[in-house]
Amino acid sequence: MQDLRSRIKAKELLIGTFIKTPAPHIVEILGEAGLDFAVVDQEHAPIGIAQMDMMALASRAVGMPILSRRWGASRDWIAPLLDLGMAGVMVPHVMDGPDAEAVCNAVRFSRGKRGLSPSPRAGNYGGMSIPDYRSNCDASSVVMVQIEDASALDHLDEIAAIEDVDMLFIGPADLAQSMQASYPSDELDEAILRVVAAGLKHDKAIGLFVGNAAHIPDWHDKGITLFVSGSDQSMLKGAATGLAAAKRS
């Protein structure tokens, strides 16, 4: 499987999508299509850990890294998903430095707070030594923290300065709502550029959700290197709507 974290740190242009359907076949199809990664959207879709297990298995089979996004003030949901062999996590509504540190504590064994056992899939079912398991997981697990609250804009420096944070990922819809701004709007674009500036200052990669892939080139020119565009469901509905329209015409 591709090393997604290394590609993020190298600031390659990476394009993926959200997965909202709890089926390993979706992971397989998107991987065969050539996407760089996908994010399983446990925040806004009914996807449980047993389904995540099969989706993580499919991601390894097809060679496409997947991450999880799940809402929750505590961070105890993170380690079990990484144990399944997922490439990392995208954590919503990270507000400040201490919040980002808590996310990193849940991901990196080197911080001494994540429960340690090489028995799950990520440890080759016990086939890896503990030192190798620790080092491999810490080297490859992706930490994306979502910037999607107006108050977080005042803490960008402290968040971006944390070494174990790999990416600041902008959630534009929630950010606009928190700012009481329109989506899209010039005010929102200015806030996005503030996040980009913090990333450049601290050599952190920046990610962005775009509803339309046509917006990728412009934002890439502005310094954003990873994009989540739409979802499996939006792609299916768009194709089906086009097919239905062809029949009516």
CATH number at residue 134: 3.20.20.60
Cα separation of 173 and 242, whole Å? 26
What's the average model confidence in pLDDT over 132-147? 98
Which tens digits make up the pLDDT trace of 202-248? 999 999 999 999 999 999 999 999 999 999 999 999 999 999 999 88
Cα separation of 234 and 240, whole Å? 10
Which tens digits make up the pLDDT trace of 24-74? 999 999 999 999 999 999 999 999 999 999 999 999 999 999 999 998 889
Domain of 92, in residue numbers: 4-248
- Report the interhelical angle of 49-62 vs 24-33 (nearest 10°): 30
Lowest mean pLDDT among 47-51, 73-77, 195-199: 73-77
Which tens digits make up the pLDDT trace of 153-184? 999 999 999 999 999 999 999 999 999 999 99
Residue carrying structure tokens 């968040």: 159
204 three-state secondary structure: coil
Cα separation of 90 and 243, whole Å? 34
Which tens digits make up the pLDDT trace of 1-31? 569 999 999 999 999 999 999 999 999 999 9
Full-model pTM: 0.97
Q: Which residues contact 168 (CB under 8 A, 6 or more apart)?
A: 144, 145, 147, 156, 159, 160, 195, 198, 199, 204, 205, 206, 207
CA 70 → CA 39, 46, 73, 92, 118, distances in Å? Answer: 10, 11, 10, 7, 24
- State the pLDDT at residue 181: 98
**194 in Cβ contact with 156 (< 8 Å):** yes
198 exposure class (CB count in 10 Å sphere: 0-12, 13-18, 19+): buried
- State the pLDDT at residue 71: 86
Q: Which residues contact 198 (CB under 8 A, 6 or more apart)?
A: 156, 157, 159, 160, 168, 204
Which structure tokens are listed for 109?
Answer: 């064994």
Looking at the structure of the chain, the number of domains it has is 1
